[in-house]
Amino acid sequence: MDNHFVFRAPQTIHYGRKAFEKVGEETLARGKKALIISDKVMERLGYTEECRNLLLNLKVESAFYTGVNSEPTDVYVAESLEIFEKENCDVIISLGGGSCIDTAKAISVLATNGGYIGDYMGGKKIADKHPIPHISIPTTAGTGSEATDATIITNTTNDVKMMIKQPAFMPEVAIVDPLLTLSSPKGVTAATGVDALSHAIEAYLSVKAQPMTDMLALSAVEKIVKNIKVTYEDGKNIDAREAMSLGSLQAGMAFTNASVCLVHGMSRPIGALFHVPHGISNAMLLPAVLEFSKEACIERLADLARIFKPDCGNLSNKEAAELTVYEVKKLCQELEIPNLKGWGIQPEAFKNATSKMAEDALASGSPNNNPKVPTKQEIEELYEVCFEYQFSSESMVTK
């Protein structure tokens, strides 16, 4: 049996309360002027100014780009790259959710390797030159992007969410400070939390799973399952926020090495065409995709059941696998995750888009990592199921 595997992660990870204060020394060690990639929410909350001051304390200059919203596009990448070059920056800091981090990843590679970000999709162009140092600082517990070598950028010409994965996109430093997540509103907390859970579950179910990712994925699932409802109901509970931040980080390291599967493959086209935030669309899809995949990963789903319900040892593996699907459905209901129709997507528009979305999902490669690899028709059928999916918790009988 060949036990060879490769594991990638940021060179340096700072984790814990007040870890944000390390941004100055990490930036100073890498350059003289940083471009801070953030958004209007971070600006309004004062986090971008705090970052600027932490840099100024060590005489490091900075410039800003705060135009990113919930779905990063090639337009944001081009705009921020122009500022990076105009301001003669030599370090990039991303401060915000996954969108800010993904935008910064693209700039760090393009600034030294050139070209259009879409050139790197599918390995058509390889980033063989060292990227600009990137310090990632997440302000949500969900995307795990601070610890992944992938970026998701929407091509605004053809409305395709480009999933680009190469080692050069890995941030050099990750600073994970749970204090920065205290301001996350209830809806964001739920969406990003289930996003992190989907990362951990898909990493564990992936056909590319390996010992390191299994360890991280199971630990992440345990932390998220125990704490996600606490943070949803009491956003100021710092102990729960701390556990969620660590769980998200672990899930990020797990899925960037084991790869994500069908949920993410189907989620990206929804975001590109209907502008549903990534975490929410993942949450909308997760239960139905687990039901679809169940028969091909009974034992692994059973392992997860023992995290959701430690006292389920008397169940068979098949019953335990069904329990996992049930618990995920129940969690989504308790966190008030809407289905696609409830989000406000028009039925006819969605139906007309299912063929393109299925094609784009398959083209991303993620469905091939799923324990049960779907056909295009099966993906279209899953989209139809998910449109009015009921996150029922009335019984343990799956749909």
pTM: 0.94
The predicted pLDDT at position 160 comes to 86
- Return the CATH number at 162: 3.40.50.1970
The predicted pLDDT at position 392 comes to 67
The predicted pLDDT at position 398 comes to 38
Of 304, 296, 318, the closest CA to residue 378 belongs to 296
Same domain assignment for residues 282 and 244 = yes
- Return the CATH number at 302: 1.20.1090.10
Where a domain ends, among 180, 206, 223? 180
78 contact partners, CB below 8 Å, separation of at least 6: none
Same domain assignment for residues 176 and 194 = no
Same domain assignment for residues 132 and 236 = no
Same domain assignment for residues 279 and 334 = yes
Number of domains making up the chain: 2
Same domain assignment for residues 144 and 98 = yes
Where a domain ends, among 180, 206, 241? 180
Same domain assignment for residues 291 and 231 = yes
Where a domain ends, among 152, 180, 208? 180
Q: What does the pLDDT look like over 46-74, one tens digit per residue?
A: 999 999 999 999 999 999 999 998 889 99
How many other β-carbons are positioned within 10 Å of the β-carbon of residue 124? 10
The predicted pLDDT at position 397 comes to 41
Residues of the chain with pLDDT under 50: 1, 395-399
What Rg do the C-alpha atoms of the chain give, in angstroms? 20
Same domain assignment for residues 104 and 197 = no
The predicted pLDDT at position 359 comes to 96
Strand ranges for 51-198 from DSSP E: 61-65, 91-96, 134-138, 150-155, 160-165, 173-176
CA distance 57 to 277: 36
Residue 399 lies in a domain: no
Same domain assignment for residues 281 and 306 = yes
Same domain assignment for residues 94 and 207 = no
Q: What does the pLDDT look like over 344-370, one tens digit per residue?
A: 999 999 999 999 999 999 999 999 999
- Range(s) of the domain holding residue 118: 12-180
The predicted pLDDT at position 313 comes to 83
CA distance 76 to 72: 7
CA distance readout (Å), 209 to 8, 89, 199, 216, 223: 14, 38, 12, 11, 19
